Amino acid sequence: MLLHLSTWAEVGEFLKRSRTIAVPIGSNEQHGPTGLLGTDWLCPEIIAHEAQRTADILIAPTFNIGMAQHHLGFPGTISLRPSTFIAAIGDWTRSLAVHGFERILFLNGHGGNVASIEAAFSEIYAEASFAKRRAGFALKLCNWWDLNGVGELAREQFPTGHGIHATPSEIAVTQWAFPDAIKSASYTPQIAASGPIREALDFRARYPDGRMGSDPGQATPEKGAALVKLAAQSLVRELDAFSREAVPG
């Protein structure tokens, strides 16, 4: 069930049988010569939407702009400041909690978001802690590549040249979902260099085509299909376990 394609009455009925919701979250940033700018928000959205086809789960609209300041040297990247990102996550969470959602899982597609998402969770929990009351809801961060079995499958598919940005696994997921948007390019070197991540001009100088340690040319829609299928199944189990998590009395 997709929140944005539902009515308020349908969401009210869903809340009678479940108080759990998943929020795909990512970033709109460059992904090398062949990676779509939306890769980091498309991957969690693709997986979450696939998961809800076969399970009674609710998926929120995708939070598609994240922490991408280091990619601003490449046209098309859109980034939030950490403070803006944290504040927005807080408002999304409070909006969902006010309706009665008690388990909110953020399915993340961008490594650069992790620190700020966790900081946002801490800010939200601190409101309850300083007021000496329970929050009334629990938050969970899950990166799609950390879903059960997904990392192992990616390593099997791409034993070399997977890297950490513009990876063949994420490119493969978008190729499966959007076959008409598949791009091609030659890479020099075949496997990109790796190194630190700082500000935008430093990043562009270190990684001139936008890749980090990766060879996205290995991606295929068939490999993406396998990753999406496994990730969607694992997400359903993750949400079920989260929903069943015991709450202290």
Backbone angles phi, psi at 50, to 5 degrees: -65, -40
What pLDDT was estimated at residue 154? 98
Domain-by-domain residue ranges, the chain? 3-243
pTM (2 d.p.): 0.97
What pLDDT was estimated at residue 226? 98
Contacts with 61 (C-beta within 8 Å, 6 or more apart), sequence order: 3, 4
For residues 175 and 225, the answer to whether their CB atoms sit within 8 Å is no
Contacts with 246 (C-beta within 8 Å, 6 or more apart), sequence order: none
Backbone angles phi, psi at 138, to 5 degrees: -120, 145
pLDDT in tens, the chain (249 residues): 999 999 999 999 999 999 999 999 999 999 999 999 999 999 999 999 999 999 999 999 999 999 999 999 999 999 999 999 999 999 999 999 999 999 999 999 999 999 999 999 999 999 999 999 999 999 999 999 999 999 999 999 999 999 999 999 999 999 999 999 999 999 999 999 999 999 999 999 999 999 999 999 999 999 999 999 999 999 999 999 999 997 665
What pLDDT was estimated at residue 246? 76
**Cα–Cα distance list, 160 to 1, 148, 169, 207 (Å):** 37, 21, 12, 18
DSSP 83-115: HHHHHHHHHHHHHHHHTT--EEEEEE--GGGHH
Phi-psi domain of 32 (left: phi exceeds 0; alpha: psi -120 through 50; beta: other): left
User: Which superfamily does CATH assign the domain made up of 3-243 to?
Assistant: Creatininase (3.40.50.10310)
What pLDDT was estimated at residue 249? 56
- Could you give the CA distance from residue 212 to residue 193 in angstroms, rounded to a whole number? 6
